[in-house]
Amino acid sequence: MIRKFNYTGRKKIPRSNVLVYFEDTTKVPHSFNAEINLESLKLPGNAEVWMEAYDTSSYMRFFFGQVADIHPPASDQRRLTDIHSTDAVRFRIKVIDNSEKHGRILAWANGIATKGTQPETSQKNPLLPVIYRDLEQEIWRLEYHPEGPFLAINQQLLDFGIRELVRTDNYFISMVYPSVIREILLRIFLIEGVFETEGDSWENDWLKFATQIPGTGDLPEPEEDNAGKIQNMDDFIEWIDNEALPAFCKKFEFRDKFQQELFGGIGE
């Protein structure tokens, strides 16, 4: 039976309070674990804690005990057997009061990414998870979901080594990723209407990433008219083209890496 939940009055759990990591990526499907800190939220000790794993087309749910006694299930019960793409997996946490007829969600957080394979060696949240699907004659495309953008790759190329190319091939990376970055930043400004780094949304995360690249200046200040419409959108587009994108390409030396692949380093 599908259980109904009441979202009224729920608290937001800071994503920084939930550390999710893979225990061992050498085994497929992966198993995950989570370190959860709910002390500051003052939640009832008997409320249930649930972790949910999901990608764009699959979902699993795991009981992590109660607020007063958070503990993960056994490792073999945390294996992501039903998740189609662990490259794109995200997690959410829900704290639920089940004392009523319909479980009431007391607190939750969404869009939590894994941070490496162990907490002490964790990496930053991956901003652009990779998923594989049938794209017919397209090689790649950007897809947008509530958790943010995903880089979709044609799954018909998996047998030809596309997974490794996406991760390490200088041809692919230098040709694709600058266009990806530009499209995402344009969407943030033109469609999502987000113009600041402060916040917990995927748009804020991307703007934090872009502004922290060496050589990228601060974001322009948005200028609104009486109706709240941004009047200086051109300033944001110029910021992408003249600051963020050049700084991104310089940081990762795309032209040099492409040239090395093309000419084998001739002319260095």
Q: What is the pLDDT of residues 33-81, one digit of tens each?
A: 999 999 889 899 999 999 999 987 889 999 999 999 999 998 889 999 9
Which of 9-13, 65-69, 119-123, 200-204 ranks highest by mean pLDDT?
Answer: 65-69
What's the mean per-residue pLDDT of the chain?
85
pLDDT at position 186 over 90: yes
Mean pLDDT, residues 102-126 taken together:
68
- pLDDT band with cut points at 50, 70 and 90 for residue 259: confident
CA 67 to chain CA mean position, Å: 26
Residue type, 144: Y
Spell out the alpha helix ranges (H) of the chain. Answer: 162-168, 170-187, 202-211, 233-239, 245-252, 254-263
pLDDT at position 94 over 90: yes
Instruction: Please provide residue 205's backbone torsions phi and psi, each rounded to the nearest 5 degrees.
Output: -60, -40
Q: In terms of pLDDT, which residue wins out, 231 or 87?
A: 231
Give the SS3 label for residue 86.
coil
pLDDT at position 126 over 70: no
Q: Assess contact for 35 and 13: CB atoms under 8 A.
A: no
Mean pLDDT, residues 2-15 taken together:
67
* pLDDT > 70: percent of the chain: 89
- pLDDT band with cut points at 50, 70 and 90 for residue 127: confident
Q: Which contiguous run of DSSP H or E holds residue 162?
A: helix 162-168
Mean pLDDT, residues 154-171 taken together:
86
CA 71 to chain CA mean position, Å: 25
Q: For the whole prediction, is pTM greater than 0.75?
A: no
**How large is the C-alpha radius of gyration of the chain?**
21
pLDDT at position 122 over 70: no
Q: Assess contact for 54 and 85: CB atoms under 8 A.
A: no
Cα–Cα distance measured from residue 140 to residue 153, given in angstroms and rounded to the nearest whole number: 5
CA 242 to chain CA mean position, Å: 26
Mean pLDDT, residues 206-227 taken together:
90
The 8-class DSSP code of residue 31 comes to: B
